[in-house]
Structure 1
Amino acid sequence: MSTIPLSLYLHFPWCVQKCPYCDFNSHALRSSEVPEDAYVDALLRDLDFELAQPHLRARPLVSIFMGGGTPSLFSDRAIARALEGVNQRLAFAPDIEITLEANPGTAEAKNFAGYRAAGVNRLSMGVQSLSDAQLKRLGRIHSADEAVRAYQLARAAGFDNINLDLMFALPQQTQAEAEADLRALIALAPDHISWYQLTLEPNTAFGAHPPPVPDSDAAWDIQQAGLAQLAAAGYPQYEISAHAPRARQSRHNLNYWQFGDYLGIGAGAHGKLTTAQGEVLRRARHKHPKTYQAHAGRAQAVQEAHSVARADLPFEFVMNALRLRQGFARADFAARTGLQWDAQIPGVARARAQGLLDETGARVTTSELGWRHLNALLSLFL
Structure 2
Amino acid sequence: MAHASTRPYNFSAGPACLPLPVLEQAAAEMCDWQGSGMGVMEMSHRGPQFGAILAQAERDLRALAGVPDEFAILFMQGGALAANALIPLNLAHRGRVDVAVTGSWSAKSADEAARYALVQRVVDTRAEGYLDIPAPDSWALRDDVDYVHLCSNETIDGVEFQDLPNLRALGCEAPLVVDCSSNQLSRRFDWSRIGLAFGGAQKNIGPAGLTLVYVRRDLLQPALAACPTAFSLERVARENSMFNTPPTYAIYIAGLVFAWGLQFRWNGLQGLEALEAHNRDKAALLYAALDDSNLFENRVSSAVRSRMNIPFFLREPGLTDTFLAQAAQATPVGLLQLKGHKSKGGCRASLYNAMPLAGVQALVDFMQDFERRHG
Comparing both structures, which one devotes a greater share of its residues to strand? 1
TM-score (norm 1): 0.25
TM-score (norm 2): 0.26
Query: Looking at both structures, which has the greater relative contact order when contacts are Cα pairs under 8 Å and sequence separation is at least 6?
Result: 2
